[in-house]
Amino acid sequence: MTTRLGRPGLRLSLGVAGASVAWVALYWVNEPFWTWLIGEAAGLDLESRLGSGVWFFFYDMIKIALLLTGIIFVVTVLRSFMSVERTRALLGGKREGVGNVLAALLGIVTPFCSCSAVPAFIGFVAAGVPLGVTMSFLIASPLINEVAIALLLGLFGPGPTLLYVSAGVSIAIVAGWVIGRLRLERWVEPFVFETRLRGQVIDSTAHLTWPDRVQLGIDEVGTILRKIWPYLLVGIGLGAVIHGWAPENFFATYAGRDNPFAVLIAVVVGVPLYSNAAGVLPLVDALHDKGLPMGTLLAFMMATVALSLPEMILLRRVLKPKLIATFVAVVAAGIIAVGYLFNAVLPV
């Protein structure tokens, strides 16, 4: 049950406006500030491995923290209009094909984290959503989330971001449809089908006021940042090491365009290296600077987000090992195909 957080007022409006101005100003001065502090005040050569690595760490840390703060707040406010119950109501009773497309699109606007996958899965199946349609949602939801989109846009621009989103939606639709056609409901734990939804759909966000939604956004920013800051530090730290210290030809040797197994290697390595989108994107950015093809990098990122070990462990509560293995195989095949396709059509 949601508790009302207070009446809207001038103080709230001024606070949001002031925070927005501060966010834009910090984002604007981030790069020149660290260039001045590290290159001039500290006297480090920004062209050296040490100097470029230190600059990369602090610049990317602030940049990604700002992107996370801004996008999480905005999306949380928007997401407050789309409850889990409403999502179930929209997906229930849809046929395969149409349902897969709708589920994948809903996955974008309702990006549940991996810890929400299990209760969402139970609720969808109990509401009569076909297994394949549910899988499309579960693939798209973590794969195409607001963090990944915002950071990809900030780091690589609209082109690669659009490629990532379109590929993610395609994988979610096709993989969900394939799993649905295989009729694998027998590999879902029986208790899932024993869950029943009684009465009418209750929209838990229906009575929220705008101050409520703003406060939810603030709370969500704090909650997510507290959970991911260790992963963020590790991811950016690895990115800084690669950016400043790794030999330029090291990664090209194992995952460069000339290696026919580059995408396979990226996917295999990506799963155990999962941190989350915020943690892995600095590493992707550093690898891109070292010359790795975009298709290989997108496959690496998709593997870390969509096929994470923590999510598989959580899903084991409701899925039998055979279904998890099928899920991983189908999604991995789609990611690998996308990686090789993009490597073939995109310039180096």
pLDDT of residue 107: 77
Sequence-separated contacts (24+) of 33-38 with Cβ below 8 Å: 34/58, 34/59, 34/62
Give the model's pLDDT for residue 201: 39
Looking at residue 24, its pLDDT comes to 93
Q: How many other C-beta atoms lie within 10 A of the C-beta of residue 344?
A: 10
pLDDT at site 64: 77
CA–CA separation, 282 and 151 (whole Å):
9
The answer to whether 2 and 204 have CB atoms below 8 angstroms apart is yes
- Report whether 54 contacts 244 (CB < 8 A): yes
State the residue for tokens 């593997």.
Answer: 303
What is the pLDDT, as a whole number, of residue 90?
60
Amino acid at 242: I
Which residues of the chain are modeled with pLDDT < 70? 1-9, 75, 79-80, 82-96, 110-123, 125-128, 145-148, 191-208, 224, 227-228, 231, 235, 239, 242-252, 272-279, 308-311, 314, 317, 347-348
Round to whole Å and give the CA distance between 318 and 187. 9
At 188 the three-state DSSP class reads: strand
d(CA 242, CA 103): 38
Query: Counting runs of H as helices and runs of E as strands, what totals does the chain give?
Result: 16, 0
Residue 3 has a pLDDT of 45
Q: Quick one: tokens of 178?
A: 């394939």
Cβ contact 38:66 at 8 Å:
no
Alpha carbon distance 257, 268 (integer Å): 17
Tokens describing residue 42: 């500290």
97: left (phi over 0), alpha (psi -120 to 50) or beta: left
CA neighbor of 44 nearest in space, from 29, 57, 56, 54: 54
Residue 47, SS3 per DSSP: coil
Q: Residues with Cβ < 8 Å from 311, sequence gap 6 or more?
A: 114, 117, 142
pTM of the model: 0.61
Measured in degrees and rounded to the nearest 5, phi and psi for residue 343 equal: -65, -30
Residue 2 is predicted with a pLDDT of 43
Instruction: For residue 34, give every residue at least 6 positions away whose Cβ sits within 8 Å of its Cβ, in sequence order, or none.
Output: 55, 58, 59, 62
CA distance 84 to 342: 34
- Residue 147: both structure tokens together: 């963090």
Whole-angstrom distance, CA of residue 6 vs CA of residue 85? 25
Q: Give the torsion sign (CA, 254, 260, 265, 270).
A: positive
